[in-house]
Structure 1
Amino acid sequence: MAARRIRTNLADLARARLARRDERRAARGVLRARREQHAAYREAVEGALPYLASVRAPSLPIPGALGRELSVATYNVHRWQGLNGVRAPDPARAGFVISEVGADITALQEVLRPFGEPDPLERLADSLRLHLAFVATRVHRLGEVGNAILSRWPITSVFALDLSFSRVERRAAVAVQFSGVGGTLAVVATHLALVDRTRRQQVASILSHPQLQGAVLLAGDLNAWRRCEATRTLERELVGQESVAWPRSFPSARPVLALDRIYARGAEMLEVAAHDTAAARRASDHLPIVARVRLSA
């Protein structure tokens, strides 16, 4: 009897070991298939960059139309990875800050859309009842990274601008247009290059674009860590002067650089400030910049 129980137990152990081995093999197979799928998707995406990856309306839009005055924000969300960029992506942190700001239009940079997972940007936009446009600029190990615009009002047209004038850095912009009682407005969200000469080319390309004439707002991380020809051109053509005291936004814990800016053409900038709260200092390495704008009559 004892020997039979021992044999039965040994058989059970062997079956359990085989089952665990089969489970591990199946899990490895699933992971391998997922990696292959991601690699194929990554290759396809890299060949198409930059491209318009998402345009969505919320399931429950906010009523209202574009008027003469509006609030605009720009926010580099640092791939949803918080202040130091080493945490696991947590879009809820930056999402809370975006809801804190409550701008009519928000330009986002370094937005991460992970491979093989639900898109947190689309969930965020829908939860805030905002319209969304997203342009993928480059491929990160965790997914696609690019620029987005969230808007209280419906987007009437949208397009991507390729600003990759250097083989070292992939750069792009997403441009959207709105129509309302306040007239027609174009908004560009971008993240400019680190190199001065490339930034100058990118600014020239944006300002001369045939679809970006009339009232235009340019918002983004301009990497303007020092005065350069690109920022002087923007200030000369969109502000009317070459010396502007922009609010500091980077690093968020103790800002010393005014990297993030909002420029207006065909509109008056009534006020501009950094959104400096405890949540904003933790959610990204950049603070949001918020402006109140009045469209020209």
Structure 2
Amino acid sequence: MGRRLRVASYNIHRWAGVRGGRQYEPERASAVVNELDADVLALQEVLRPFNGDDPLRQLAQDLGFHLAFVVTRLHKRGELGNAVLSRWPLSGALTIDLSFGRLERRAALAVRVGDEEQSLQVAATHLALVDRTRARQVRHLLDHPHLVDGPAVLLGDMNAWRPTKASRALDDHFRDRHHNANWPASYPSVRPVLALDRLYARGAQVVALETHTSEAARRGSDHLPIIGTLEIDERDAEGA
């Protein structure tokens, strides 16, 4: 797997492009993912239609990547959830239930990337809109074994549109592992001003982090993807 890898997070907006609504344009977000040249990707708001069309599976096949998916709720057109795609094998996938509020069904997908010689724990999520619920979700994630032992990365749409208890807890917990304190704005894609999408690591250093701002990315979703370069610490690189 190597000590250095590229990890990305992208809210694909149900394959609806930047316009949303009833639009269904999976080729747009798929093209953006291809531009990223990432080793590991976390996708949010992934729609898997009831009609048998499965752009997520097609995307994984086109990339030659391994795939894991968790359903967070049912949409009128299909299952909606989070996905992880990886250049390397995935194992031990599990769902971390984060549905603490009554109105929002939320979850994280936790999965191991790599093998017994070298691996990285990945937790991909889409946190709640409500501040109090989001704070509970963060506490639950930070205590979870997938983010306590060995190299790990937490990434996704954190809905961190302003400083809150949840965002401060994440920033404080992972502060020493991030290259700086400035999060790149990723929303809205046409003129980003909010840093909703974030990437945190332990047992690894985030040495670079940016939004992907191609013309295709501005049209592929209402979010821009973020992509980071990780360096896994030598002391944690083996036997994780």
Q: TM-score, normalised by structure 1?
A: 0.75
Report runs of 4+ in structure 1 exceeding 6 Å deviation: none
Shift of 1:196: 1.1
Aligned length: 232
Separation in 2, partners of 1:248, 1:208: 27
> What residue number does 1:258 align with?
195
1:241-294 Cα offsets, whole Å, 9 max, x none, are: 998210000000000100000001111000000000100000100000000000
C-alpha spacing 1:93/1:215, structure 2 compared with 1 (3 Å): same
- Percent same amino acid among aligned pairs? 53
Matched, 1:191 2:126: yes
> What residue number does 1:34 align with?
none
User: Which among 202, 209, 217 is matched to residue 153 of structure 2?
Assistant: 217
Separation in 1, partners of 2:203, 2:118: 11
Matched, 1:282 2:219: yes
Separation in 1, partners of 2:86, 2:42: 9
Amino acid at match of 2:17: G
Separation in 1, partners of 2:153, 2:68: 16
Shift of 1:181: 8.4
Structure 1 alignment gaps of length 5 or more: 1-65
User: Which among 138, 160, 171 is matched to residue 203 of structure 1?
Assistant: 138
> What residue number does 2:4 align with?
69
Shift of 1:88: 2.6
Separation in 2, partners of 1:193, 1:117: 29
> What residue number does 1:78 align with?
13
C-alpha spacing 1:139/1:93, structure 2 compared with 1 (3 Å): same
- In 2, are the aligned partners of 1:251 and 1:285 still within 8 Å (CA)? yes
Amino acid at match of 2:23: A
Shift of 1:100: 0.2
* Higher percent of residues as strand: 2
> What residue number does 2:60 align with?
125
Amino acid at match of 2:85: L
User: Which among 236, 251, 273 is matched to residue 172 of structure 2?
Assistant: 236
* Higher percent of residues as helix: 1
- In 2, are the aligned partners of 1:250 and 1:256 still within 8 Å (CA)? yes
Matched, 1:249 2:166: no
1:121-170 Cα offsets, whole Å, 9 max, x none, are: 11111011111001010111111110000100001221111000001111
Amino acid at match of 1:222: M
After superposition, residues 133-172 of structure 1 pair within 5 angstroms as 133-172=68-107
Separation in 1, partners of 2:36, 2:8: 8
Amino acid at match of 1:283: G
Question: Greater relative contact order: 1 or 2 (C-alpha under 8 angstroms, separation 6 or more)?
Answer: 2
Shift of 1:229: 1.1
Structure 2 alignment gaps of length 5 or more: 235-240
Amino acid at match of 1:224: A
1:152-202 Cα offsets, whole Å, 9 max, x none, are: 000122111100000111100111112358732101110000111111111
Separation in 1, partners of 2:95, 2:115: 22
Root mean square deviation, CA, Å:
1.6
Q: Mark the structure with the bigger radius of gyration.
A: 1
Matched, 1:99 2:46: no
- In 2, are the aligned partners of 1:239 and 1:265 still within 8 Å (CA)? no
